[in-house]
Amino acid sequence: MGGCATGLVHLGSSFWLANFKEFAIFTLGASALVNLVMGLLVGLLLRWALTQKEWYRPFLFAAVWTVWEWFKSVGFLAYPWGTLVMTSRDLTYLVQIADLTGTWGIGFLLALVSAALGELLMRPAVPLSLREPFAKTAIFVCFLLVVSCGYGAIRIATLAKPVSNLDVVVVQQDSDSWDDSAARQNILESEQLSIAAIREKNIRPDLVVWSESVLPWPYAENKKHYEKIPKEYPLPQFLADINAPLLSGSPVLVDPETNGYGNSVILLDADGRQMGYHSKIQLVPFAEYMPFTQYAFVREFFDTLVGFSDGWVPGMSVEPMRITDKAGNEIAISTPICFEDAFSGLNAAMRNAGGQVIVNLTNDAWSKTDSAELQHFAIASFRTIELRTSMVRSTNAGYTVVLDQTGKVLADLPLFTPTSALVSVPVYASTRTFYARFGDWFPALLTALLLFLGIRYIVKQRID
């Protein structure tokens, strides 16, 4: 039952992974199989939790589920989709505890409510004397919910005000970035949409943000090439016209020894100079990065199965890039790429390195489904609460959005529509929340507790 549940939840929530072209065998097929296999262990652990006769049985259930979601959301094969916390985005007061526990505390509470209700509703024929301890547990669960929501209300009312605001142009060109023949047209459309947004507000922006992969050729090695394209509006002329920094996706050579390129975002100034870059650290396994390809038989396997064995080289640095707003303030921006915005620990490291605003460049256009775009947004939005910072998501097809430090949507663009906007983005002081300081302490604590109880259970069974 555990294996079926985890496998079916994955297929039902992430069916759009089948649109990931030749990688679908890994992105959907292999990931569903992995979820099913891991679910077998989850089922055994949940069964163990449910065999306990103590009042804390609902807490054990919630702890097992939270640890499971944590383990599947970290590491090389991490995939933090299909988690309980995704259902809670609109529970504004409850989710504010993310700055203490990360999303894991929210997921724990949701699982705990489910388990407590289950205890009250199952087997009405059980004598009241045996169900009474669980009724008290349910009351305590209600108390936890009230305290959590109360904390959220207080936090929202007492959060620090922005120290400044950035005028940012976000561009959503809604194009097929995997079509190499359309690269020049994609750049031209991005330029035209940028100019349209600037003219509409008649404000010089502090930053223009395109999406992932718009500049398909490595900029540093092809600067002369970009001086001629698109021929209708060469890139240097566009940069001079906007008179503002441009942030765009483009490959960057990160390992000269192996000629290895990283899936990156680069920051260009009005004169066309590359001011900085960030290379994607959390790569999509078996699509952007192939493990163990130093071995010939592994390369041959991938070449036969999907037609290639090379991938991007992972980045290493979490240092922010810096821009200057019109008031002369230096603003540090963290730039997680695509699904990097779903990883709490990585974004916390970027925040701890001094980042003040999260600017995410994403391309989910290949999914061709609204649900994929909105799921990605739902996961990413919790970074603003965990780190008490604002976020800009500039995407190829959606969901392009600006969020404040409570996860509130300040501005957005319609899905799968070529459009743009000049938006005002609040900038908050670079402070460190409890979660940013201590990371995933909550699921780590639950893991230690489960190990202790599991060992005690085994010892007791042997003694008996």
Q: What pLDDT, on a 0 to 100 scale, did the predictor assign at position 429?
A: 87
Which of 384, 430, 354, 411 lies closest to 209, judged by CA? 411
Domain ranges of the chain: 2-159+441-463, 164-281+316-430
DSSP assignment letter at 97: G
Which pTM does this prediction carry?
A: 0.90
Contacts of 257 (CB under 8 A, 6+ apart): none
Which of 32, 98, 127, 81 lies closest to 377, judged by CA? 81
Q: What is the mean pLDDT of residues 258-275?
A: 93
Residue 366: φ, ψ to 5°: -60, -25
The radius of gyration of the chain's CA atoms, rounded to the nearest angstrom, is 24
Measure Cα distances from 295 to 18, 252, 255, 301 in Å: 28, 25, 19, 10
Domain with residues 164-281+316-430, CATH architecture: 4-Layer Sandwich (3.60)
Question: Which tokens go with 24?
Answer: 């679908």
Q: Is 294 exposed, middle or buried (0-12, 13-18, 19+ CB in 10 A)?
A: exposed
The answer to whether residue 138 scores a pLDDT higher than 80 is yes
Distance CA 105, CA 444 (A): 12
Q: What pLDDT, on a 0 to 100 scale, did the predictor assign at position 132?
A: 65
- Ramachandran region of residue 147, left (φ > 0), alpha (ψ -120 to 50) or beta? alpha
Segment 158-187, tens digit of pLDDT: 999 999 999 999 999 998 777 777 889 999
The answer to whether residue 297 scores a pLDDT higher than 70 is no
Residue 110: φ, ψ to 5°: -65, -40
Consecutive H or E run containing 442: helix 441-463
DSSP assignment letter at 169: E
Q: Which residues are catalytic?
A: 212, 280, 338
Mean pLDDT of the chain: 89
